[in-house]
A and B are shown apart, each in its own frame.
Chain A
């Protein structure tokens, strides 16, 4: 299990821009890739359109998952923004995390000029559980 996720600069910048574009609501999306390296960004609409909650739009999410499969890659990261709090998993983030192998990236826009991103694995005994262990993953921007 990689405790490091490498993200090319253009993907990282695209993710930050998507988070800014959806402000003041939370933004969300996926990063596809393999072996701990992101290769493709999937900016998704937040169907919840909320500053405190996200849920990707169904059609766009399924299209992204299908594309990742067709590219024979993995869902290496699920990202979303916190518009007014630190990039640390909230109780909601922990409860609703059901992808044990994906890095959950949180982009904090508390300081709009200086977005701060951190990555987390949320490991559960059973992926359907509501509680689990949170482990930080280094994000390496290449």
Chain B
């Protein structure tokens, strides 16, 4: 078994139009690094200048936000689903 990684519409052009990708299980950073080798444009957009997750990119493992798990050290097991999603937020707040 492996890991399923769901790709949002805005990132599909970076992965040949795929809606999802298969990856080897492991730490999240290794899962993403593996995909990044195959699809450098994906890696470039998911990570920020400091090497961490870009602040407007949210990643979920089985619907849990990895920022509340162990971030890039989070474990991804066989059969898990990883979802990459641009952040959704806003509101009438002025700043």
Contact = CB atoms under 8 A, between A and B. Distances in A.
Interface of A: 26, 28, 48, 50-56, 58-59, 61-62, 65-66, 69, 74-75, 78, 80, 82-85, 89-93, 96-101, 104, 127-128
Given A62-B85, A65-B83, A85 B92 contact: yes
A101 B93 contact: no
A78 B8 CA distance: 15
A92 B93 contact: yes
Contacts of B85: 61-62, 65
B45 interface: yes
Give chain B's interface residue range (CB within 8 Å of chain A): 20 to 34
Contacts of A127: 10, 86
28 contacts: A26-B92, A48-B89, A53-B89, A53-B90, A54-B89, A54-B91, A55-B88, A61-B85, A62-B83, A65-B6, A66-B6, A69-B19, A74-B9, A82-B91, A90-B91, A92-B93, A92-B95, A93-B90, A98-B10, A98-B88, A99-B10, A99-B86, A100-B10, A101-B9, A101-B10, A128-B45, A128-B56, A128-B86
Given A65-B6, A80-B90, 4 more contacts: A56-B88, A66-B6, A98-B86, A101-B9
Interface of B: 6, 8-10, 19, 45, 54, 56-57, 60, 63-65, 83, 85-95
Contacts, number: 94
A69 B56 CA distance: 21
